[in-house]
Chain A
């Protein structure tokens, strides 16, 4: 964490000007850039904030500063200084994209600059610090350093292409990643070496082939000439035997080729699945440790499939790519050598006509690749839509939308077909073009070569030599192709690897303090001191919340939807960390406690019930898989779940979750409650835990909870106030702030928000004659 950069760091060019012009009287606190003026035209702005002034510089040149020139020229900036004493009410008005920074200057709210999202974070920080200065509060030193939401690559100044992924694909150190990846293959070192050796051997064998089926066949055997060939060493001159030997050699070469291929295939089959599985395991293992915030905003299905394809991608280059570099290089060099030795002139012709094919492949291969990826994308879209349609089948029927759904799917399906046609069309064209270019080269070589054979040009060449020669020319095509795409492949797979390592290396935002003191006996006193928290920067969901719950007490939390109730309990369980303030359990800050202690002692029944795939028994025993049947049944009884479970034909063995039997909303809730009860925590948190059950069942659950609640701190969130009648204390949260707290009686006497809510609920019910 020591590498955090101070926000006062300015680009060099600007620093020089600021110094030259003596723009700052006191120390610079924060520097920020913005990219629009108040009319929302692209325009460069710099903001410099010190303890007593805000200096705003702009070049007033419309148009985004020349995007090709990374170095911004600050020399034509004009600067305006606003004394802090002249400023008040700094405000950020957020728009759909970006926002505007304004402040009251001389009694009038005046725009200072506007910004797109890329510059949002820093400008917001300026506003924040400015407000702190204006309120005469102390600036927290850590707010003057960059935090996780910093926007630009330090090396090249490009905005990061993905905001929550602080990696600049252009600047990442691919070599380092490579070596790290290579370490995954360590257990297979020997096999990899073997694969490489096999590659070299087959390259060697391959290079012999043109000689066999060229010079040796035509010039020696068929021409009945023993000179300058392997047959020279033989003491006899029977050319049918020579032919037989040659045929055996040729068959041998082919067999060897296949043999090497088979062995290689077997080795690859042994390595790839293991390495891929290993990488995936590592990734999934480390995902388990990540904070929840990692998952929000990520489509989990997509995440999984990406990890899988990344792992495969990465492994493939080690298997299909790297081992072939040397053999391909060897093939190129060897072929060229033979070609030049045979006929330098013809070699030049052959090599000079090679580039068109290579260029076509370099130019068009990416396009083909793109068409194909679009094809996959549309196919994925189609599957997603189809899945949507099937899982939502009931809604579709209920609204009688079958016909329009059919049309909608048809449309997507047509897209798939169109993308497929496009890809295939292009593929055909590309292949044809490539082959034409290639054949042109070989036809040309062959024609000129034939001229040599016919002795039109000197020196004369034999027919066999020409065959050998063209054999080598065609050998060249493979490696040339290989080298034309290996670079792209390489950078793609390094990018995949990067994504994998990123997850492996991701530091959870919420981390366990290594020096945490074990604390197994939690009593259950909870204290919140001035807790402030926001999921996004500068959008506080909870503001200065303070409250105390004593051990064994039940606290009821009331408030409108979106007020921040769930957020509050998420902080207590440390799914997120507070931005400011602290949360204490038995006087110990939750940040100083071990995760295991927290999890063991706090059970949460959340608003969104989650039923895992498995039996009902498994689901209830989730927190404690070693629980016996009796305990599980007891927990189910306490949660009023026992009765409905008994009515299921398979009882506690009923398979539920995706693919299993459906459960009603209330049934799911009761299973979640049973799960929490079984965990036997010191602190029980119920977030709308009984919202989906009827009042009768709720009463039953409450009665049993009451028994259980003894010696247990309970936080209960409910919209239905009758649920909270037994609470020792109630808090009302409104837009992130606690507005009222006290017992039911106190709050009723106070005649505030709670009173109002309570009256409305009971009156409304009474009016319809269903009051309780």
Chain B
């Protein structure tokens, strides 16, 4: 008898794992704490602090966002299929959170790119201020190019983005040309 219960329970648990809980305007309310963290009220139940994770951070940053508890269990509470279905306020606080999580300064200007001793030394202006970083040269994966969008990973695995190569000046392009 007891055994059957456990099995039943497990099946339910598995079912729960297999069904994607869709978070919508109707069942989920996100709010921001004073410290800038996000809490979730789901079906009238306070779930506490949550983390929002992009499942396609590069190709679809606003879709299929996984919402998980902020403890170390990181249990998935549900998925936001499209962030834009939510009200403006929610979009704002979640976007702010995502921006922090997927921190990726945008490179606006390239001052110099130099290669020395097997490392590429970059000096750039980002939307977050002037910055210098080093990326391992020659190793594939440190510069990801997708059409005119370029993502550069430095040796610390920090990422930098060039949103549109064609917006750089020809002089900057020339500096970059060899490294892309």
Which residues of chain A come closer than 8 Å to B178, judged between CB atoms? 367, 370-371, 374
**Residue from A102, A492, A759 with most neighbouring chain B CB atoms (10 Å):** A759
Residue pair A95, B103 in contact (C-beta under 8 Å):
yes
Look across to chain B and name the residue whose beta carbon is closest to the beta carbon of A167: B117
Asked whether B34 is an interface residue with its Cβ less than 8 Å from the other chain, the reply is yes
Asked whether B156 is an interface residue with its Cβ less than 8 Å from the other chain, the reply is yes
CA distance A651 to B101 in the complex (A): 57
Residue pair A759, B7 in contact (C-beta under 8 Å):
yes
9 example contacts (A-B, Cβ-Cβ < 8 A) are as follows A42-B129, A62-B129, A96-B102, A96-B103, A102-B37, A117-B158, A159-B134, A162-B155, A381-B140
Look across to chain A and name the residue whose beta carbon is closest to the beta carbon of B116: A169
Which residues of chain B come closer than 8 Å to A756, judged between CB atoms? 6, 10
Asked whether B123 is an interface residue with its Cβ less than 8 Å from the other chain, the reply is yes
CA distance A369 to B118 in the complex (A): 12
Residue pair A109, B35 in contact (C-beta under 8 Å):
yes
State how many residues of chain B have any CB contact under 8 Å with chain A.
45
**Residue from A40, A98, A495 with most neighbouring chain B CB atoms (10 Å):** A40
Interface residues of B in 51-77 (CB under 8 A from A): 51, 57, 70, 72
Residue pair B36, A492 in contact (C-beta under 8 Å):
no
Residue pair B117, A64 in contact (C-beta under 8 Å):
no
Which residues of chain A come closer than 8 Å to B146, judged between CB atoms? none
**Residue from A64, A495, A735, A755 with most neighbouring chain B CB atoms (10 Å):** A64
CA distance A67 to B134 in the complex (A): 12
CA distance A64 to B70 in the complex (A): 30
State the majority secondary structure of interface residues on A. mixed
Residue pair A42, B131 in contact (C-beta under 8 Å):
yes
Residue pair A117, B156 in contact (C-beta under 8 Å):
yes
Which residues of chain A come closer than 8 Å to B4, judged between CB atoms? 763
Residue-wise, chain A 738-765 has the 8 Å CB interface mask toward B (1 for contact) of 0000000000000100011001100110
A62-B129, A169-B116, A377-B140 known; A109 and B100 CB under 8 Å? no
Asked whether B26 is an interface residue with its Cβ less than 8 Å from the other chain, the reply is no
CA distance A114 to B123 in the complex (A): 22
Residue pair A169, B159 in contact (C-beta under 8 Å):
no
Residue pair A95, B101 in contact (C-beta under 8 Å):
yes
Residue pair B119, A38 in contact (C-beta under 8 Å):
no
Asked whether A538 is an interface residue with its Cβ less than 8 Å from the other chain, the reply is no
Residue pair B156, A760 in contact (C-beta under 8 Å):
no
CA distance A38 to B103 in the complex (A): 12
Which residues of chain A come closer than 8 Å to B115, judged between CB atoms? 366, 370
Which residues of chain B come closer than 8 Å to A114, judged between CB atoms? 100, 103
Which residues of chain A come closer than 8 Å to B35, judged between CB atoms? 102, 108-111
Residue pair B130, A67 in contact (C-beta under 8 Å):
yes
Residue pair B132, A163 in contact (C-beta under 8 Å):
no
Look across to chain B and name the residue whose beta carbon is closest to the beta carbon of A491: B117
Residue pair A760, B131 in contact (C-beta under 8 Å):
no
Asked whether B157 is an interface residue with its Cβ less than 8 Å from the other chain, the reply is yes
Residue-wise, chain B 152-169 has the 8 Å CB interface mask toward A (1 for contact) of 000111110000000000
Which residues of chain B come closer than 8 Å to A55, judged between CB atoms? none
Asked whether B148 is an interface residue with its Cβ less than 8 Å from the other chain, the reply is no
Which residues of chain B come closer than 8 Å to A40, judged between CB atoms? 99-100, 103, 128
Asked whether B104 is an interface residue with its Cβ less than 8 Å from the other chain, the reply is yes
CA distance A756 to B3 in the complex (A): 8
Interface residues of B in 75-109 (CB under 8 A from A): 99-105
Residue pair B101, A759 in contact (C-beta under 8 Å):
no
Which residues of chain A come closer than 8 Å to B118, judged between CB atoms? 161, 169, 492, 495
Residue pair B128, A41 in contact (C-beta under 8 Å):
yes
Residue pair A162, B128 in contact (C-beta under 8 Å):
no
Residue pair A109, B49 in contact (C-beta under 8 Å):
yes
Which residues of chain B come closer than 8 Å to A692, judged between CB atoms? none
B158 to chain A, nearest CB (A): 5
B13 to chain A, nearest CB (A): 10
CA distance A755 to B10 in the complex (A): 12
A98-B103, A162-B136 known; A42 and B3 CB under 8 Å? no
Which residues of chain A come closer than 8 Å to B123, judged between CB atoms? 67
Residue pair B156, A159 in contact (C-beta under 8 Å):
yes
Which residues of chain B come closer than 8 Å to A95, judged between CB atoms? 100-103
Interface residues of A in 142-163 (CB under 8 A from B): 158-163
Which residues of chain A come closer than 8 Å to B129, judged between CB atoms? 41-42, 62-64
A42-B105, A97-B103 are known; give 19 further A-B pairs, CB within 8 A: A38-B36, A40-B128, A42-B126, A42-B131, A62-B128, A62-B129, A64-B129, A66-B130, A96-B57, A96-B101, A97-B157, A109-B33, A118-B156, A160-B155, A370-B115, A377-B140, A381-B140, A756-B10, A763-B3
Residue-wise, chain A 214-235 has the 8 Å CB interface mask toward B (1 for contact) of 0000000000000000000000
Name the contact of B70 in the complex, choosing from A62, A93, A367 (C-beta under 8 A).
Answer: A93
Asked whether B2 is an interface residue with its Cβ less than 8 Å from the other chain, the reply is yes
A40-B99, A95-B102 known; A161 and B131 CB under 8 Å? no
Look across to chain B and name the residue whose beta carbon is closest to the beta carbon of A61: B129
A95-B103, A161-B119, A377-B138 known; A67 and B132 CB under 8 Å? yes
B9 to chain A, nearest CB (A): 8
Asked whether A100 is an interface residue with its Cβ less than 8 Å from the other chain, the reply is yes
**Residue from A117, A158, A751 with most neighbouring chain B CB atoms (10 Å):** A117
CA distance A594 to B63 in the complex (A): 55
CA distance A735 to B119 in the complex (A): 39
Which residues of chain A come closer than 8 Å to B99, judged between CB atoms? 40
CA distance A755 to B9 in the complex (A): 13
Asked whether A116 is an interface residue with its Cβ less than 8 Å from the other chain, the reply is yes
Interface residues of A in 29-83 (CB under 8 A from B): 36, 38-42, 62-64, 66-68
CA distance A759 to B118 in the complex (A): 57
A297 to chain B, nearest CB (A): 12
Which residues of chain B come closer than 8 Å to A722, judged between CB atoms? none
Which residues of chain A come closer than 8 Å to B117, judged between CB atoms? 161, 169-170, 491-492, 495
Residue-wise, chain A 376-400 has the 8 Å CB interface mask toward B (1 for contact) of 0100010000000000000000000
Look across to chain B and name the residue whose beta carbon is closest to the beta carbon of A109: B35
B174 to chain A, nearest CB (A): 11
B120 to chain A, nearest CB (A): 9
CA distance A629 to B178 in the complex (A): 60
Which residues of chain A come closer than 8 Å to B134, judged between CB atoms? 158-159, 161
